[in-house]
A and B are shown apart, each in its own frame.
Chain A
Amino acid sequence: MSDAHAQSADSYYIPHGSPWPIFGSVTLFTLMGGAISALNGWLPAWSLVPGFVMLCLLFIFWFSTVIGENQRGLYNLAVDRSFRMGMMWFIFSEVMFFAAFFGALFYARELAVPWLSGNGVKVFTKMLLWNDYAGSWPSNGPSALGPRANGSFETVPALGLPAINTAILLASSVTITIAHHALIAGHRGQVKFFLALTFLLGFTFVGFQAMEYHEAYTELGLTLGTGIYGSTFFMLTGFHGMHVTLGAIMLTVIWFRIMRGHFTPQRHFAFEAVAWYWHFVDVVWLGLFIFVYWL
């Protein structure tokens, strides 16, 4: 049984010959090819489907192989350390991805919109191009882009759904920590309960986010095309929402593994990796709540 894998192999496990990486490359090519075909109008939108199916299969096959090797006790502590470091650096790369979009938000707010309004050295821009534009945040630009004929739009108030979503994500951070402590203490019943609670909170968050988007599109005049505000709002919250969805799926997978009896109080890297990831999406959300919704 799985518990036997606590004591592990002497040598660093090097897998021999694996078909999944090359399958992954073909998958990425299919996925990207599908996206390109759809965007260029070469094929209808279903051209994305094969890539997504292959992506799901890739994750299933690749992770099953790794989980199987882990259950067979092939991974020693050094391998475990490699996985940990790998995950941390992956999360760091994700931080930098979000940093690019936060950078765009700050640049637009603090520089682009004021300059378009004639601040500082850019007074001629205003005089020559958009003399009647007095930009302030939130802004959809001098041409007031957006779905409404008069160019107006409203923002999502911070104290509505976003505040509830903040509470949900913070609560889920607490529940996953409780689950982690329970796993270390060997209380598997508690782990199951609190982990399930965590991913349910995660999916609830995504559901609320979808409601918020629906309202933005149908009632607030706030869309991706609503100037720079709409662009930064939807790209930041959208990428975050995708990460929450992915994280919640990962939590669900971990929950199934717990149900199967995987993990020991000492060795449960996958659990921890997903927990780190979850805390990461939580921290990103706090940034979003403060800089996108609130301030």
Chain B
Amino acid sequence: MAHASAEHAHDDHPDQPATGIKRWLFTTNHKDIGTMYLVFSLIMFFIGGAMAMVIRAELFKPGLQLVDPLFYNSMTTNHALVMIFGAVMPAFVGLANWMVPLQIGAPDMALPRMNNFSFWILPFAFTLMILTFFVPGGAAAGGWTLYPPLSIQGGDSFPMVIFAIHMMGISSIMGAINVIVTIVNMRAPGMTLLKMPLFCWTWLITAYLLIAVMPVLAGSVTMLLTDHFFKTSFFNAAGGGDPVMFQHIFWFFGHPEVYIMILPAFGIVSEILPTFSRKPLFGYDSMVYATASIAFLSFIVWAHHMFTVGMPLAAQLFFMLSTMLIAVPTGVKVFNWTATMWRGSLSFEPPMLFAIAFLFLFTIGGFSGVMLAFVPADFQYQDTYFVVAHFHYVLVPGAVFAIMAAVYYWLPKWTGHMYNMTLANWHFWLSTIFVNVLFFPQHFLGLAGMPRRIPDYAVQFADWNMVSSIGAFGFGLSQILFAIVVIQCARGGKKATAQVWDANPRGLEWTLPSPAPYHSFQSVPEVK
């Protein structure tokens, strides 16, 4: 009844969170859920990182010394799955949960119960995936791309991985629907689309990509499942199917997925660079259009992941050219960021350092991407460490650095405390040096012909592998500093002001006190 609404609105809005475990299990609050996403992502980052350490330890010198080859293969497979679906994607969803309502002046996410559901699926999905290490046949070891026929020959882990991926997909789709609906429906009056912070813009487009491609992944792994258990012939040439068809369907998901992991990073960098350059973002509108162009192009480039399967020449030409086109909107972004910093009054707080490192190192990853786009060149690079170097440059000093930049940027807003700047600076410099020691030599290894996903290698690759492994151990250990900074900051420290940074950041989130109150924007802010 109408007159009851006011009372209920009161009943259902306690100003304080519930206490104990119930707060986290039952919460519908975007900040609680954002925090859970981010904590979960950090844990997964360390689990996936531990797997990477095993890989690099085995590759420290030629020969087989630490693990047997099957376990090594399950390390590469699960490292990828954990980092993509457990660390990077949930981190971005966590950031969206925290920041989108604050940036658009909304009281919460649009569909709060579904928001809780999206998060709590993830720990269960990853429980399922980690359990695969303890079943007969061991964990999935056919690569994260799950190519048949190899993946279909897996042991008891096979259906576990498939269903874990289904759960992650359900979680992602619901999370994405929530972000879109929140951004489209919940903006404060006056916040027109082209006044929206770029983080919201890039997330809006990312969410669209997620809804478009996660179901395709679900379809492709369902076909794997039925091929294994129910005698279908989707990927069996004897029955008229084609294993290459899986690669097409998978990469139709997989390439937009790559941009799902980088577009929100673009948004973050587009927030941080203007703040610490003390200048508005150069070319805001062109940034929005470039993001949309990249999203569109992501749907028509997928076969560049599979140039060597024997496609018709016309298809190779099409996918080569469409892939190169991506360099145009990406170039627009890189030039805009550079122009934003041009003649700015720069200061180098930790978020700015990470954002600048992103700009340089992501661009290196972008360049090697253009090299890989050439079909004749790709025939040489395919399945070598050059590919590994390429995608780690865009994912680690790309996506992961952007996530860290975002955490360092907004952490005082979340906790109400400033963090230990010295330690954060150490974290930055150690990470940046070691990430290059780790991944740059892999370019040389790849160009010299070292294949990926092999636990042993010819002796001529020994030196650079040792360098790379040293970089990996250094990078891995440096991340402990990150955890320390974050935990310290959550527990206490110098009080942060509402503005947090002297650089005078723009945006609605800085109008709220630090820490942001449990229920923000109960009264709707005005945007001029």
Contact = CB atoms under 8 A, between A and B. Distances in A.
A273 interface: no
Nearest to A125: B237
Contact of A72 (B1, B22, B186, B233): B1
A87 B514 CA distance: 35
Given A40-B159, A113-B240, A107 B248 contact: yes
A39 interface: yes
A4 B252 CA distance: 49
A178 interface: no
B240 A112 contact: yes
A224 to B, nearest CB: 5
A224 B233 CA distance: 8
Interface in B210-233: 211-216, 218-220, 222-223, 225-226, 229-233
A16 B240 CA distance: 54
Given A32-B167, A35-B159, A112-B245, A96 B212 contact: yes
B5 interface: yes
Given A40-B156, A224-B232, A225-B232, A90 B177 contact: yes
A104 B223 contact: yes
Contacts of B2: 4-5, 7-8, 73
Interface in A1-54: 4-5, 7-22, 24-26, 28-29, 32-33, 35-36, 39-40, 42
B239 A227 contact: yes
A107 B248 CA distance: 9
A96 B217 CA distance: 10
B239 A141 contact: yes
A131 interface: no
Contacts of B170: 28
Interface string A247-278: 00000000000000000000000000000000
B239 A5 contact: no
A145 B238 contact: yes
Contacts of B18: 17
Contacts of A101: 219, 223
A28 B124 contact: yes
Interface in B21-80: 22-23, 25-28
B283 interface: no
A201 interface: no
Nearest to A14: B108
A78 B185 CA distance: 7
B241 A11 contact: no
Contacts of A28: 121, 124, 167, 170
Contacts of B23: 17
- Main secondary structure on A side of the interface with B: helix
Nearest to A232: B234
B232 to A, nearest CB: 4
B104 to A, nearest CB: 13
Given A14-B12, A16-B12, A16-B14, A96 B216 contact: yes
B233 A231 contact: yes
B242 A142 contact: no
Contact of B241 (A10, A26, A112): A112
B287 to A, nearest CB: 24
B107 interface: yes
A25 B233 contact: no
Nearest to B221: A100
Interface stretch (A114-122, A159-167, A189-197, A284-292): A114-122
A15 B181 contact: no
A81 to B, nearest CB: 5
B236 A141 contact: yes
Contacts of A143: 238-239
A74 B22 CA distance: 24
Contacts of A40: 135, 156, 159
A215 interface: no
Contacts of B1: 4-5, 72-73
Contacts of A17: 18, 22-23, 26-28
A139 interface: yes
B240 A235 contact: no
B513 interface: no
B377 interface: no
Interface string B320-340: 000000000000000000000
B240 A140 contact: yes
Interface centre among A10, A13, A25, A141 (most CB of B within 10 A): A25
B245 A82 contact: no
Contacts of B522: 11
Contact of A100 (B14, B176, B249): B249
B133 interface: no
A52 to B, nearest CB: 15
A36 B230 CA distance: 14
A62 B28 CA distance: 14
B256 to A, nearest CB: 11
23 contacts: A14-B13, A16-B11, A17-B22, A22-B25, A22-B26, A25-B121, A25-B123, A25-B124, A32-B167, A39-B229, A74-B9, A85-B184, A86-B178, A93-B214, A96-B212, A96-B214, A103-B216, A107-B242, A111-B242, A139-B240, A141-B236, A225-B231, A231-B233
Given A36-B160, A82-B186, A104-B219, 19 more contacts: A12-B108, A17-B23, A36-B159, A93-B173, A101-B219, A103-B216, A103-B248, A103-B249, A104-B223, A112-B245, A121-B310, A141-B238, A142-B237, A142-B240, A224-B230, A224-B231, A227-B240, A231-B239, A231-B241
Interface of B: 1-2, 4-6, 8-9, 11-14, 18, 22-23, 25-28, 106-108, 110-114, 116-117, 120-121, 123-124, 127-128, 135, 156, 159-160, 163-164, 166-167, 170, 173, 176-178, 180-181, 184-186, 211-216, 218-220, 222-223, 225-226, 229-234, 236-242, 245, 248-249, 252, 310, 312, 519, 522
